Amino acid sequence: MGQTNDCIRTALGSGQTNDLLLAYFKANGATSGDYQTAEQEFLVARGQETGHNQDRWYRYLRSLGYTGAYQDMWNSFWCDDAGVIPAGSAFSSGFSSGFA
């Protein structure tokens, strides 16, 4: 996960990873100030209404075209694509990282 955390900081800026991700979720429609709740709100807004957050991420990343194991898709989302939600994808907020 260390590599992914580095990629998240590269995409979103310096700081504690969970704080950066909370800001990312809120920039993409979440309203909660709690990390796990905001993550859930982010995923529900993208059509992932059931299951644990990791299961929701798995389905969401698949919907964006990522393949492989969960960790491989998570790494690709942050390390290859900097967490940018593709424009025109289902449930896209039009957000393009906005932190860099």
Whether the pTM exceeds 0.75: the reply is yes
Q: 19 is written with which tokens?
A: 């704080």
Q: Report whether 6 contacts 17 (CB < 8 A).
A: no
pLDDT given for residue 88 in this prediction: 56
Q: Is residue 89 part of a domain?
A: no
Band of residue 33 on the pLDDT scale cut at 50, 70, 90: very high
Q: Is residue 94 part of a domain?
A: no
Structural domains in the chain (count) = 1
Nearest to 85 by CA among 50, 55, 35, 45: 45
Residues 6+ apart with CB under 8 A from 62: 73
Q: Report whether 41 contacts 25 (CB < 8 A).
A: yes
Given a cut of 70, is residue 40 above it in pLDDT? yes
Q: Is residue 24 part of a domain?
A: yes
State percent of the chain over pLDDT 70: 84
Band of residue 53 on the pLDDT scale cut at 50, 70, 90: very high
Range of the domain at 59: 2-80
Q: Is residue 88 part of a domain?
A: no
